[in-house]
């Protein structure tokens, strides 16, 4: 009798107890998500309605960068592409949230400049909420994953990261090709998912943008050093392992080992684990792995300076690798899904999700 049959018989004998444990696990994880999601948003809502205009602040910032470019300015200059208010009603005071995206991101938001800023910001916030709902349904996650703290933070500030992830999960290669202009690092999971058609569309669009908008690229190259210096300072080095060479080496080695076991999982985790100056909402790229244990660790690791996030990803990689080695040694396949460690991506890159 192999291990799968033994596992099935064990579940049949203890189905009631296992069902209660699973329900308790879901409830506990939902409560952890809710607690840390509140910790993430309390600064905005604790003194309602003070700081209300920080809701959707990244959407406003990206709009202003595109508007600055359309007006003939430099989107990366601190005096023209930053958010100017931090109170409600708007006071005219200035806070230093500068635009740091590459030229394709500027161009992606240019069409929105046709509508006024006061209309775009709430519309983009609604689009971000819709993208979050789509992500959870697409991955067939329990609905309490809407409280996953990185997702909550991304929705609160209306960062394009959430729309980017939704695009990466959709069935259309044309729409998936739009993910990288939203966030350049989307190319990494696109490669691991072998989305070759979308990458081909992206390459053509990138080449056209360089030729047609060379002055914009030249501005970006000239501003790049100052932009990265500001970004590293404001993120305190970032949530990822990139701020510490030793931690980076350990994390990169762990991901390389995971890639031998599960290439797709390694591709999704590479961005939050290794991308320089990564922000917390980058960890939404861990959602396609559907691992409750990884989700729990990331939820707790809400602060970038404590390095819990990279170490959590390292632990996940080591656990996955160890389970595969043990499986090979004893020649008995284990049910990793039951342990919450497997990255069963319950969506097809080429087909829409089934209902339910």
CA distance to 9, 46, 94, per residue, from 176 (Å): 42, 37, 36
pLDDT recorded at residue 187: 95
Residue partners of 280: CB distance under 8 A and separation at least 6: 40, 149, 150, 153, 239, 302, 304, 309
pLDDT recorded at residue 43: 72
DSSP at 326: H
SS3 349: coil
Contact of 83 with 90, CB cutoff 8 Å: no
pLDDT recorded at residue 13: 62
Residue partners of 63: CB distance under 8 A and separation at least 6: 109, 112, 113, 117, 120, 121, 124
Contact of 85 with 91, CB cutoff 8 Å: yes
Tokens read off for 158: 């209306």
pLDDT tens digit at each of 356 positions of the chain = 455 555 556 555 656 666 777 888 889 999 999 999 998 888 777 666 666 667 888 898 899 899 999 999 889 874 334 455 555 555 555 556 788 899 999 999 999 999 998 899 899 999 999 999 999 999 999 999 999 999 999 999 999 999 999 999 998 889 999 999 999 999 999 999 999 999 999 999 999 999 999 999 999 999 888 888 888 887 878 899 998 999 999 999 999 999 999 999 999 999 999 999 899 999 999 999 999 999 999 999 887 767 889 999 999 999 999 988 888 777 555 555 555 555 555 555 545 444 33
Closest among 58, 96, 90 to 77, alpha carbons compared: 96
pLDDT recorded at residue 336: 55
Q: Tell me the C-alpha distance between 255 and 291, whole Å.
A: 16
- Residue spans per domain, the chain: 52-222, 235-356
DSSP at 283: G
**Residue 121's CB: how many other CB atoms inside 10 A?**
20
**Residue 274's CB: how many other CB atoms inside 10 A?**
21
**Residue 142's CB: how many other CB atoms inside 10 A?**
12
Q: Tell me the C-alpha distance between 105 and 115, whole Å.
A: 18
pLDDT recorded at residue 151: 97
Please provide residue 299's backbone torsions phi and psi, each rounded to the nearest 5 degrees.
Answer: -60, -40
What is the reported pTM?
Answer: 0.85
């Amino acid at each position: 009798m192999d291990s799968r049959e033994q596992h099935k018989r064990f579940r049949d004998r203890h189905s009631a107890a296992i069902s209660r444990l699973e329900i308790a696990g879901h409830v506990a994880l939902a409560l952890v998500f809710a607690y840390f999601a509140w910790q993430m948003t309390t600064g905005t809502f604790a003194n309602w309605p003070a700081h209300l205009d920080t809701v959707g602040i990244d959407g406003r910032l990206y709009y202003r960068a595109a508007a600055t470019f359309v007006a003939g300015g430099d989107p990366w200059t601190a005096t023209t592409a930053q958010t100017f208010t931090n109170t409600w009603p708007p006071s005219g005071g200035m806070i230093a949230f500068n635009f740091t995206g590459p030229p394709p991101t500027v161009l992606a938001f240019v069409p929105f400049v046709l509508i006024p800023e006061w209309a775009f910001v709430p519309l983009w916030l609604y689009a971000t909420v819709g993208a979050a709902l789509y992500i959870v349904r697409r991955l067939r996650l329990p609905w309490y994953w809407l409280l996953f703290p990185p997702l909550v933070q991304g929705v609160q500030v209306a960062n394009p990261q959430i729309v980017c992830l939704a695009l990466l999960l959709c069935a259309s290669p044309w729409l998936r090709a739009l993910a990288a202009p939203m966030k350049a690092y989307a190319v990494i999971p696109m490669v691991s998912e072998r989305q070759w058609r979308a990458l081909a569309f992206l390459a053509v669009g990138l080449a056209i943008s360089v030729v047609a908008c060379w002055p914009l690229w030249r501005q970006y190259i000239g501003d790049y050093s100052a932009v990265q210096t500001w970004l590293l300072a404001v993120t305190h080095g970032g949530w990822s392992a990139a701020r510490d060479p030793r931690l980076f080496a350990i994390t990169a080695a762990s991901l390389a080992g995971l890639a031998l076991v599960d290439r797709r999982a390694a591709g999704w985790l590479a961005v939050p684990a290794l991308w320089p100056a990564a922000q917390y909402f980058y960890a939404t790229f861990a959602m396609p792995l559907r691992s409750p244990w990884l989700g729990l660790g990331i939820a707790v690791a809400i602060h970038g300076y404590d390095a819990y996030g990279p170490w959590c990803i390292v632990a996940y990689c080591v656990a996955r690798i160890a389970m595969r080695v043990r499986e090979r040694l004893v020649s008995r396949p284990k049910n990793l899904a039951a342990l919450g460690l497997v990255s069963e991506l319950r969506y097809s890159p080429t087909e829409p999700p089934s209902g339910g």
